[in-house]
Amino acid sequence: MRRRIFVAAVLLSLNAAGALGRQQAPAQNTQPALPKIHLLATGGTISNRDGGRLTAEELIKSMPAVERYARAGSEQFANTSSSELTLQQWLDLARRVNTLFADDADLSGIVVTSGTDTLEELAYFLNLTVKSDKPVVVVGSMRNPSEVGYEGAANLLEGFRVAADPQSRNQGVLVVLNDEINAARDVTKTDALRLQTFQSRPYGVLGVVDSDRVVYYRKVIKRHTAASEFDVSKIEALPRVDVVMTYQGASGDIIKAMVDQGAKGIVLATAGAGATSGTQREGVQYAVQKGVVVVTSTRAGSGRIAAPRPRRAAAADASSSDASDAPPRSASLRVSSEDLAPLKARILLMLALTRTSDGAEIQRMFLEY
């Protein structure tokens, strides 16, 4: 009898110990890991506080509750105003983004800080040269960290949220400021001071960043990033491309001077839908005779410039005269920018010239990008 009581007591003790152990065992974490987002800081107003610029690490710390949305890493690429970034730094930055994506399969997206003055140019360059469909988001701020109403931390946090959102894949490079998501191809700075400065002309925003979630309203259909044919991995320098604005009585000598100084391409920001003024037409003729590609865009802010039609009369003249007297290349070297703004047209032309000098092929690129 005593033996039975002893065995029962031992079994009861073991059961109790097992139950206690099960209660004390740590619960397994069934939550998926947060997206890994890397910050590449280049400087700009977002970091330009009085007494010294914020570092990439300090920018990360400035974001409220970023740990709710992403595993944040940071890297100081540069720390200067956007207007002081060089074309060589553009190339280096694109290569760095591509290297980060290639070396870390766990990386979900990249956020780049930039000054707002040339942010749209940097964003579009990355849009054409990043070789991944993972999100790259460019952010900035209109007020610096020492001003009342500094919005940099909020913009940066929203940039991280957009980069971490699965909907942002294959949308090209995105620009996020003031609670809005814009496509790098379309966005432009419209005001020197106001927070709502970045607008996508008549196309509107891609989406918004609200307190509860990221919302997209449309998609980018032009070629970009992973679908781009441009490869900067071995480019040592971008060809010189200049922008010329049309204004009443404009001189074509400026265009000739650019050609003589080594320009390989020229973008004309024409009046209306392609009108030049003064002696600009003579300058354009000089440029194409020298083998320089001339892209026609508009200074109006929006609107499409249709590709030039082949002129039958010119073709007939060329077939009936000596080849040395005809301008066979001039028609092919005149390219339409489609709806790209002059600054964006310059960037596409620079990259196009790293692959070809054929005007018809460059026109194809303007149609597709």
Domain ranges of the chain: 36-227, 241-368
Give dist(CA 107, CA 110) in Å, integer.
8
Section 112-133 average pLDDT:
98
Same topology, domains 36-227 and 241-368? Answer is yes
Annotated catalytic residue: which of 45, 246, 270, 276?
Answer: 45
Section 276-296 average pLDDT:
98
pLDDT in tens, 226-242: 999 999 999 999 999 99
Give dist(CA 196, CA 179) in Å, integer.
9
CATH value of 241-368 in 3.40.50.1240, 3.40.50.300, 1.10.10.10, 3.40.50.40 = 3.40.50.40
pLDDT in tens, 21-44: 455 555 555 678 999 999 999 999
Is 206's pLDDT higher than 50? Answer: yes
Average confidence score pLDDT of the chain: 90
- Phi–psi pair at 207, nearest 5 degrees: -175, -170
Who's near 88: CB < 8 A, 6+ residues apart? 237
Is 364's pLDDT higher than 50? Answer: yes
Could you give the maximum distance between any two Cα atoms of the chain, in Å? 127
Give dist(CA 5, CA 12) in Å, integer.
11
- Please tell me the chain's helix, strand, coil percentages from 3-state DSSP, rounded to the nearest 5: 35, 20, 45
Give dist(CA 59, CA 33) in Å, integer.
23
pLDDT for position 327: 42
Is 317's pLDDT higher than 90? Answer: no
Place of tokens 């065995």: 7
Q: What radius of gyration do the chain's Cα atoms show?
A: 28
* Nearest in space to 294 (alpha carbons), one of 353, 247, 235: 353
Report how far apart, in Å, the C-alpha atoms of 130 and of each of 80, 227, 267, 290, 350 are: 22, 9, 24, 32, 16
Give dist(CA 60, CA 41) in Å, integer.
10
Instruction: Tell me which CATH homologous superfamily contains domain 36-227.
Output: L-asparaginase, N-terminal domain (3.40.50.1170)
- Split at pLDDT 50, 70, 90, the class of 10 is very low
pLDDT for position 330: 54
Flag whether the pTM goes above 0.85: yes
Q: Is 86 annotated as catalytic?
A: no
Is 323's pLDDT higher than 70? Answer: no
Cα-Cα-Cα-Cα dihedral sign, residues 90, 171, 65, 72: negative
Section 282-298 average pLDDT:
98
pLDDT for position 23: 52
